[in-house]
C-alpha cells in the first residue's frame, strides 16, 4: 500500500483513495500528478457545473464516478 501526497491539498492518501493523472508527455515518459479522491471530485464538480448540470445532478454523477467509500 503506497501513500502519496495530493498535489492540490497536500494531504497524504493511499493510492486506492486517489487517482494518478498524466499531465504531460516527456522524452523519457510521462509527467504524473497524484490527487486524493476529494480533490478529484472537486475538480470534476467544477467541470460538471461548467457543463450546466444542477447541484443534485452533479452529486449523483460524482457518487457514480468517484464514490467516497
> For position 3, what pLDDT does the model report?
94
CA distance 15 to 43: 18
CA distance 18 to 22: 13
Grid cell listed for 43? 475538480
Angle between helices 55-65 and 37-50 (to 10 degrees): 140
Query: pLDDT tens, position by position, for the chain (69 residues)?
Result: 799 999 999 999 999 999 999 989 988 899 999 999 999 999 999 999 999 999 999 999 999 999 987
pTM of the predicted model as reported, rounded to 2 decimal places: 0.83
> For position 54, what pLDDT does the model report?
96
Amino acid at each position: 500500500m503506497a501513500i502519496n501526497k495530493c498535489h492540490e491539498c497536500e494531504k497524504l492518501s493511499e493510492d486506492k483513495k486517489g487517482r494518478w493523472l498524466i499531465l504531460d508527455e516527456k522524452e523519457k515518459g510521462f509527467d504524473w500528478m497524484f490527487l486524493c479522491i476529494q480533490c478529484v471530485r472537486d475538480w470534476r464538480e467544477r467541470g460538471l457545473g461548467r457543463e450546466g448540470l444542477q447541484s443534485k445532478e452533479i452529486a449523483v454523477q460524482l457518487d457514480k464516478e468517484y464514490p467516497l467509500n
